[in-house]
Structure 1
Amino acid sequence: MSGLSPGFAIQRGFSEAHRDDTAVLFWQAFSGKLGKILAPHDRALEWLRRILDPAFAISAVDESGDLLGLAGFKTSEGALAGGSLADLAGVYGWTGALWRGALLSVTDRDVNPDLLLMDGIFVADHARGRGVGTALLDAIVEEARKRGKSGVRLDVIDTNPRAQALYERRGFVGVSTEETGIFAGLFGFCSALRMERRFAQSPSNSAVDR
């Protein structure tokens, strides 16, 4: 995958030169949700550097080669932010890994074989307003089509109305809401809206939007 938008390119994966930047951007985007579990900050970044998998990522890079943003996805083969209990233990020790792993499992989402699951999207602060997020989201949709999926699924938390508005503009609709219940204080949000963008099948069996 390679596409050029004004001032930046969309490409599959991320380079090893961008691994540190990817970890930082991921943490900036999701520390509000995962900060109490993965703290302290330096260990969280160390863990992210270990586990982020470019095979399940699409990135935006500017003309100077700097990382502007990234979108991840999850399949039955893996995810952008996957990793194992051993990866957690390598950073936090086994005691720290066991309770962190149990809490992280609360946020895990099952894969639907018919839908590509987006596994996070984030844009550097200095790149906001340039259409990077929209281009990455469209690239995820393209990835789903190439994989023969019937659509894309994602989740957006109730404290992120800006992201929800973007998804709605790109054809996503809400299908269900999941409450965090007793974990609301831990994760920093009360509910997550599941959204989908489904494709129809044309007579030639190529996916088109419903």
Structure 2
Amino acid sequence: MPASPFSIRNGFPEAERQRAADLFWKAFSGKLGKILSPEQKALALLRDLLDPAYAICAIGADGRLLGLAGFKTSEGGLTAGGLKHLAGIYGWPGALWRGLLLDLLERPVEKGVFLMDGIFVAAEARGQGVGTALLKAVEAEARARGQARVRLDVIDTNPRARALYERAGFEAAGVEETGIFSGLFGFSSATRMEKRLA
């Protein structure tokens, strides 16, 4: 049996921080682009913000980051920064309005629910099982922490991701509309998807 072309591990290598920021931005700029642009500042924010303590990653045989799944707990999350982080990049006026809008996208941590905080796979690594392996690792982490369910949210403009989650056993558990903010966020609704752990 051939060796896997990637390995799954907790955190992400510090040497891959810039790549993690780049991949995050490619995955979520459609959702966050109008709020965090210009791209140069968004990438600077992500480089500073991404916390490996709340990440599980896929690393290729060459040491390159191929994908990452983030999660959020009551202690913190992959992207759990605050106004101070935003102000360091955008200044206080820019931080205040961006912070208010980003708060609309926040999801609270719930007892018994392991909350995912983004998942992405590099374009060149898609179709190799990286996303599926990351989801399995997230489930294992949730079980290790004594959680009964895993939750994520998928936007209506990302049917490919939703199909992956459904294949992995996630089921829709509710829908939230963005209403008047749909043009700003670039999507009209987000579906809450959950998987109950055995």
Matching residue within 1, 8, 14 for 2:6: 8
What residue number does 2:177 align with?
179
What residue number does 2:59 align with?
61
Which residue type is aligned with residue 69 of structure 1?
G
Distance, in Å, in 1 between the alignment partners of 2:81 and 2:14 is 17
Distance, in Å, in 2 between the alignment partners of 1:172 and 1:38 is 30
What residue number does 2:94 align with?
96
The normalised TM-score by structure 1 is: 0.92
Runs (5+) with no aligned partner, structure 1 = 200-207
Deviation string for 1:70-111 (max 9, x for gaps)?
Answer: 000011010101111111000000011001101110100011
**CA shift for structure 1 position 53:** 0.3
What residue number does 2:149 align with?
151
SS class of match (1:94): helix
Equivalent residue runs for 1:160-171 within 5 Å: 160-171=158-169
- Structure with higher strand content: 1
Matching residue within 65, 68, 71 for 1:70: 68
SS class of match (2:62): coil
Deviation string for 1:148-180 (max 9, x for gaps)?
Answer: 000100101111111111111111110100000
Matching residue within 117, 138, 145 for 1:119: 117
Runs (4+) of structure 1 moved beyond 2 Å? Answer: none
SS class of match (2:143): helix
What residue number does 1:202 align with?
none
Distance, in Å, in 1 between the alignment partners of 2:104 and 2:178 is 9
Matching residue within 134, 143, 146 for 2:132: 134
Distance, in Å, in 2 between the alignment partners of 1:157 and 1:189 is 6
What residue number does 1:52 align with?
50
**CA shift for structure 1 position 113:** 1.7
Matching residue within 2, 19, 24 for 2:22: 24
Distance, in Å, in 1 between the alignment partners of 2:116 and 2:37 is 24
Distance, in Å, in 2 between the alignment partners of 1:143 and 1:194 is 20
What residue number does 1:105 align with?
103
SS class of match (1:182): helix
For this pair of structures, how many residues does the alignment match?
196
SS class of match (2:21): helix
Structure 1 vs Structure 2 CA RMSD: 0.8
The normalised TM-score by structure 2 is: 0.97
Which residue type is aligned with residue 62 of structure 1?
G
**CA shift for structure 1 position 33:** 0.4
Which residue type is aligned with residue 56 of structure 1?
Y
Distance, in Å, in 2 between the alignment partners of 1:40 and 1:164 is 28
